[in-house]
């Protein structure tokens, strides 16, 4: 069993685990107002591309129940305005806009007045949640082909490095597969077991010996606060490192595979993910280490030709200069704080999706 980021609460409210408080406190919040759902997404109380799409869908359905007495046209206008407000909460992860578009379409397709449109919204939100949960498991399973290939390579390399020729021909014991990951792509970032971390969870279930290198992920520390927390709960061996130590670890031959998530994937494969992914991909390519992006189909944006067209969220400078309220830079120093960067498709070994391991063009 993995942890959960969100669920339906009593009488259909959206219930989320407030991720800003992790790992020191596990506090659940019940949300049933569009403004509070949008605030929770903006403040990263719920975060991760798939999770914010699911949370917005469930939050929209939960919030509009109080308006179900409205006549159909008024209710549909409210759906449009609320979906637009939620979609604007964060710009980079396409899952959010995608989920809001699905909710708007479900509302228009429903017959009758506010109450029946409301029921259709609830049904669609639950479908989005359940599909995401299923896609997580499917990605985890699809990723096992990559895990097995890397584990095989590592075991073979170990045997070959021994002078003893017998070690080469006999079947060497499987060696620990060392996976490096960035940000949080686990259960906390989805409605299921995660994206990149789902590959880790399924490998662990299968008994593959693993060691996960967890980039701490400056400035909001999704790696050390959230990924390490999830892996500790699951009993998976892991080590947290400063983001800037990843290249040295690769140079020391301590990394077999890099697995990351994505917030938006353009038609040509350029991939936006948490800032720090791009330098990781450069370092991985330099050291000959495969880097795979793990993402569900809801993260692919067919309208986006390449990475230059992906909007990159810029966040408050205080996240860098006063992280968690502690001043660590001179008051007033200007700050550059993009939440995401774009990794060119050229640096990605493959895209693990619920439909298998793919490459561009994705149409």
Site for ligand MRU, rule CB under 6 A: 44, 47-50, 93, 183, 185, 189-190, 195, 222, 261-263, 273-274, 339
Nearest CB to ligand MRU, comparing residues 222 and 321: 222
Find the shortest distance in angstroms from Cβ 41 to ligand MRU: 9
State the Cα torsion 319-190-109-62 to the nearest 10°: -70
Find the shortest distance in angstroms from Cβ 274 to ligand MRU: 3
State the Cα torsion 313-276-28-54 to the nearest 10°: 60
Nearest CB to ligand MRU, comparing residues 13 and 54: 54
**Within a 10 A sphere around the Cβ of 319, how many other Cβ atoms?**
16
Angle at the Cα of 158 (from 156 to 162), degrees rounded to 5?
115
Nearest CB to ligand MRU, comparing residues 15 and 47: 47
Find the shortest distance in angstroms from Cβ 166 to ligand MRU: 44
Can 263 be counted among the known catalytic residues? Answer: yes
Bond before 219 cis per omega within 30 degrees: yes
User: Nearest residue to ligand MRU, using CB?
Assistant: 261
Find the shortest distance in angstroms from Cβ 295 to ligand MRU: 7
DSSP 3-state percent helix, strand, coil across the chain (nearest 5): 50, 15, 35
Find the shortest distance in angstroms from Cβ 77 to ligand MRU: 30
Choosing from 263, 270, 301, 341, the catalytic residue is 263
Per the rule left: phi > 0, alpha: psi between -120 and 50, beta: everything else, 332 is: left
Nearest CB to ligand MRU, comparing residues 48 and 114: 48
Tell me if 63 sits within 8 A of 39, measured CB to CB. Answer: no
- Calculate helix-pair angle for 72-87, 49-63, nearest 10 degrees: 150
Say which residues have a Cβ less than 8 Å from residue 235's Cβ, sequence separation at least 6.
none
Nearest CB to ligand MRU, comparing residues 195 and 353: 195
Catalytic residues: 263
């Amino acid at each position: 069993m993995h942890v959960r980021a969100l669920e339906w609460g009593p009488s259909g409210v959206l219930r989320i685990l407030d991720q800003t408080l992790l790992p020191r406190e596990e506090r659940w919040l019940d949300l049933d107002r569009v403004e509070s759902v949008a605030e929770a997404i903006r403040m990263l109380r719920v975060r991760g591309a798939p999770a914010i799409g699911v949370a917005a869908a469930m939050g929209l359905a939960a919030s509009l129940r109080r308006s179900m007495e409205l006549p159909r046209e008024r209710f549909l206008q409210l759906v449009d305005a609320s979906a637009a407000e939620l979609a604007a909460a964060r710009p980079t992860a396409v899952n959010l806009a995608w989920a809001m578009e699905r909710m708007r379409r479900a509302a228009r397709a429903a017959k009758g007045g506010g109450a029946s449109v409301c029921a259709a919204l609830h049904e669609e939100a639950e479908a989005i949640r359940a599909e995401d949960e299923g896609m997580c498991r499917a990605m985890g399973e699809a990723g096992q082909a990559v895990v097995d290939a890397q584990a095989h390579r590592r075991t073979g390399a170990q045997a070959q490095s021994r002078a003893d020729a017998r070690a080469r021909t006999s079947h060497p014991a499987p060696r620990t597969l060392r996976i490096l990951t960035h940000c949080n792509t686990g259960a906390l970032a989805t409605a299921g077991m995660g994206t990149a971390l789902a590959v880790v969870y399924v490998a662990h279930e299968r008994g593959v010996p693993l060691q996960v290198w967890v980039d701490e992920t400056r400035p909001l520390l999704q790696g050390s606060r959230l990924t390490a927390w999830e892996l500790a709960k699951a009993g998976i061996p892991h080590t947290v490192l400063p983001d800037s130590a990843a290249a040295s670890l690769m140079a020391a031959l301590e990394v077999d595979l890099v697995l990351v998530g994505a917030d938006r994937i353009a038609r040509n494969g350029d991939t936006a993910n948490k800032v720090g992914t791009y330098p990781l991909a450069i370092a991985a390519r330099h050291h000959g280490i495969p880097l795979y992006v793990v993402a569900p189909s809801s993260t692919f944006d067919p309208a986006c030709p390449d990475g230059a067209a992906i909007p990159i969220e810029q966040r408050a400078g205080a996240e860098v200069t006063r992280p968690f309220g502690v001043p660590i830079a001179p008051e007033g120093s200007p700050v550059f704080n993009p939440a995401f960067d774009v990794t060119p498709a050229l640096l990605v070994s493959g895209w693990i999706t619920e439909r298998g391991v793919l490459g561009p063009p994705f149409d």
